[in-house]
Amino acid sequence: MDQSSGGRRLTADTESLPVDEPTDLVSRSRELEDVSFGAIVDAEQESRILWATPGGLEVVGRGVAVRMSARGPDRFDRIREQASRAFDALDHDGPHVARPRAFGGFSFHDEHEPGPPWTGFDAASFVVPQILVIRSEDGTWLTAVGTHPEAAIERLERWHDRLAALPAMQPSGTGPGVTSTQRTTSPADWTDQVEAALEQIEQGTITKVVLAQSLSVTLENSVHVPGTLERLRRQYPNCYRFLIANDTGGTFFGAPPERLVSKRDNRVETEALAGSVPRGETPEEDDAHAADMLDSEKVQREHGLVVEAIRNQLEPLASELTVDERTIRRLATIQHLQTPIAATLEGESHVLEIVEALHPTPAVGGVPPVAAWETIRDTETFDRGWYAAPVGWFDADGDGEFAVGLRSGVASDDTVTLFAGSGIVADSDPDDEWDEVQLKFRPILDELR
Ligand SMILES: C=C(O[C@H]1C=CC=C(C(=O)O)[C@@H]1O)C(=O)O
């Protein structure tokens, strides 16, 4: 079975596919002349993905060879079970860089029920696309995935011809224009929310919580997400870029600065990214803001909580763990405090196990995690959906890479809903935190204007 429209659905509650039935995924690859990635994902009502890393890997995918989805607290395990059914008998003929991967992500919390603007975004959902174009230092590759060799080869050849007919370059265009914006949280509500969180911090229920806001942006014209991402690439070249479009019309996209995890064999790299100051108008002003952040006891404490939580989560899985020096991460509109963290895994782990262990770090959740989540749930008046949650890919070996879905928005029709948050610790000032959240809306908002 190899349906062009839906692919095989491996949902957690589908009992018709026995757990141990090997599925026979076949993939075939061939090298390509360069093609326009934007043009490949420029389709409507079809599942599409785009993934690009600061390290230089870029992937676009179309169609669904296999779909995996799950809900509930064991959603990470359920996806892994479905992945092993899909990938165990994989027959890939092509270089390693061109291998098939499953792309997707998770909602922030496992209680998530998809509804507008998150229609079609389950608590966990991944696809192995039927067509992948992969660009890296090893060249540009086209990979076709099917359920038997003839189908994969036929698809490969058909798409090779089709891509040759596409423009090699596509203009990235201009923003669609903003008609109006609507906040979920007024400045007065925000002050109340932050003060209530500060009270909880004083009482000792929590030490840190990341509170977020959402901003619904009504557009003059519908947004062209691939073009928006191309413009974001120029502004934020050292950030991830992603697009996940499901076949019901919703597209989650963004340019997050934060890596949740990358895993290759037994090597894991992650980071703590927390603490923010604006960019300055001049290099001197930039440096002064950065120096303020380095000197701030409050920011150091806020950041330290993230480093400690990541260390505690990774240590039981690692034979060696290194925490690097804190540095300044400078982006076009904001600067952050960043600590790279790396580990060698003790045994064999799937990247999804690491994702599960780390998410949510206190850079997007809080300390302690359960009480912080309760504060988020009781405070925020909107659904975080996939905002601030893991988004990325894994392969048949259990390797993969995930970013944190920040500096992001979900687009449908003429609306994009943006999300941004900020870490609240003792001594946080509601007005400063408000300003910080507005800065974090800017990457996407600036490209929509
Ligand atoms: C929660 C967000 O940012 C996180 C990442 C970097 C700095 C952060 C901060 O300083 O609060 C946040 O932890 C967001 O962008 O919505």
Q: Which fold, 178-222+258-448?
A: Anthranilate synthase (3.60.120)
Which tens digits make up the pLDDT trace of 3-46? 333 455 554 333 333 333 446 899 999 999 888 888 888 877 78
Mean pLDDT lowest among 156-165, 314-323, 385-394: 156-165
Assess contact for 20 and 96: CB atoms under 8 A. no
- List the domain boundaries for the chain: 8-164, 178-222+258-448
Distance 308 CA to ligand 1 centre (A): 17
Using the predicted structure, report yes or no on whether residue 240 has a pLDDT greater than 90. yes
Per-residue pLDDT, 332: 95
Average pLDDT of 354-379? 98
Question: 443 burial class (0-12, 13-18, 19+ CB within 10 angstroms)?
Answer: buried
pLDDT in tens, 309-348: 999 999 999 999 999 999 999 999 999 999 999 999 998 9
Question: Using one digit for the tens of pLDDT, what is the confidence trace for 110-138?
Answer: 999 999 999 999 999 999 999 999 999 99
Q: What is the ipTM of this complex?
A: 0.98
Is the shortest distance between the CB of 421 and ligand 1 below 6 Å?
A: yes
pLDDT value of position 35 = 83
Residue 278 β-bridge partners: 334
* pLDDT averaged over every residue in the chain: 92
| Residue of the CA atom closest to atom 10 of ligand 1 | 275
Ligand 1 pocket test, pick from 333, 336, 419 with the greatest ligand atom count within 8 Å of Cβ, gives 336
- The one catalytic residue in 208, 380, 433, 436 is 208
Instruction: Give the helix ranges, DSSP H, for 90-183.
Output: 149-164
User: Quick one: which atom of ligand 1 is closest to the CA of 363?
Assistant: 13
> Which residues lie below 8 Å from residue 133, measured CB to CB, with a gap of 6+?
32, 35, 37, 40, 59, 60, 61, 140, 141, 142, 143, 163
What per-residue confidence (pLDDT) applies to 13? Answer: 36
The DSSP secondary-structure symbol of 35 reads -
Cβ(263) – ligand 1 distance below 6 Å? no
Question: Against a cut of 0.80, is the pTM above it?
Answer: yes
